[in-house]
Amino acid sequence: MVKSAMLTANWEQALTDIENGSGNAENLIAEIKESVIDTITAELSKTNRDTVSRKKEIGVCPRCGSPVAERRSVFHCTAGKENCGFSIWKSDKRIGRDYTAAEISELLSAGKVTLKNCKSSKGKTYSAIFELEDTGRYVNLKLVSFINNYKKKY
């Protein structure tokens, strides 16, 4: 194994021997190559591999029932764009802030979510209840009601 403490110590000693003139660099390089090849061969021969995913599942897709995952800039259905296409962008300029995974998770499970610290176009902070609006093509959060008697002035 490449990360073995004993192996590292042996290679460090071999390097010290080479530096002092009593070791052979070609032998050390051959030993390192053999060790790396053995490690790679052992890893490639493994059959019980766990799938690694950078996607964090946060809920169930309301369109198809597949998991909804969080990515860097979007929450999306893991069934893919071709099979489902459900997605919600994290950044929403209409509310002046980004959605969190917990908020979208609540939205997916309950159909609505309370969002705090939203900002109006005039810079006023408000809280409101939003519900999921899915046209089949686009997904939006639709404002249902304001909290704390905030009323938008036109």
- pLDDT tens track for 47-82: 766 655 556 889 999 999 999 999 889 999 999 888
CA angle (148 as vertex; 143, 150 as ends), nearest 5: 60
Rg (CA), the chain: 28
The counts of H helices and E strands in the chain are: 3, 9
What gap in Å lies between CA 132 and CA 108, rounded to an integer?
A: 8
- Tell me the domain boundaries of the chain: 5-44, 56-147
Q: What is the pTM of this model?
A: 0.60
The terminus-to-terminus CA distance of the chain in angstroms comes to 68
Q: Would you give the distance in Å from CA 75 to the centre of its chain?
A: 10
Identify the H or E element spanning 141: strand 139-147
pLDDT tens, residue by residue, 113-152: 999 999 988 888 999 999 999 888 888 888 898 887 555 5
pLDDT of res. 51: 58
Structure tokens at 115: 């969002």
pLDDT tens, residue by residue, 3-40: 678 878 888 888 898 888 888 888 888 888 888 888 88
Please list, in sequence order, all residues whose beta carbon lies within 8 angstroms of the beta carbon of residue 37, skipping any fewer than 6 positions away.
none
